Amino acid sequence: MIIRAFSLTAVTIFLVFMFSGCAALPLAALGGAALESGAGAVVKTGTEYTTGGTAYRTFTIPQNAVRAAVLEAFDRAGVTVKDENEKGDDERIIGELHKRTVRVRLTPLSPSLTAMTLIVKRNWFAKDRATTSELLEQVEQVLSENPSFARLLRRPVPETASASPRRPE
């Protein structure tokens, strides 16, 4: 019985190190407190990450505005949009970025509340949490450039912002 328990423990440890791909998996074994005290501490309120690196964020902003912000953030970051489609109420955007696949799902929870799921994958096993965080920050930055959305995101309104975009002359 002791030998069997030891064997199962050794196999489990071996598999953890073989399939982890990064140091994030051993941190997951420490529990949520360890994750929140590290990189998770910089995450905005309302953003949730899985241990694998998927980000979930809900905005009090209509879906069409969040979609436009995602596309602008992708453009700024150099993400090439490969596919856009709708599945029921959800809108899905798939992009590529230097050996990475970026996936966004936008779900309207109400006319003014939108849930966003953002995943950046390096390969079948590994997700890129750092790039996920940066792209999410870029989406928030694009949204905050609109004064009415900046208030909703609880960000200061830039002094140079105007209530409506300037028309080209």
Q: Please tell me the total count of domains within the chain.
A: 2
Domain annotation covers residue 135: yes
Q: What is the pLDDT of residue 96?
A: 96
Q: Same domain for 21 and 47?
A: no
Q: Is the pTM of this model over 0.75?
A: no
Q: What is the pLDDT of residue 147?
A: 86
Q: Same domain for 85 and 2?
A: no
Q: Same domain for 20 and 53?
A: no
Q: Give residue 21's domain range.
A: 1-30
Domain annotation covers residue 46: yes
How do residues 46-101 score in pLDDT, each as one tens digit?
A: 677 777 789 999 999 999 999 999 999 999 999 999 999 999 999 999 999 989 99
How do residues 145-165 score in pLDDT, each as one tens digit?
A: 988 888 777 766 556 555 545
Q: What is the DSSP secondary-structure string of the chain? A: -HHHHHHHHHHHHHHHHHH--STHHHHHTT-HHHHHHTGGGGSPTTEEE-TTS-EEEEESS-HHHHHHHHHHHHHHHTPEEEEEEEETTEEEEEEEETTEEEEEEEEEEETTEEEEEEEEESSSS-B-HHHHHHHHHHHHHHHHTSHHHHHHTT-PPPTT--SSPPPP-
Q: What is the pLDDT of residue 36?
A: 40
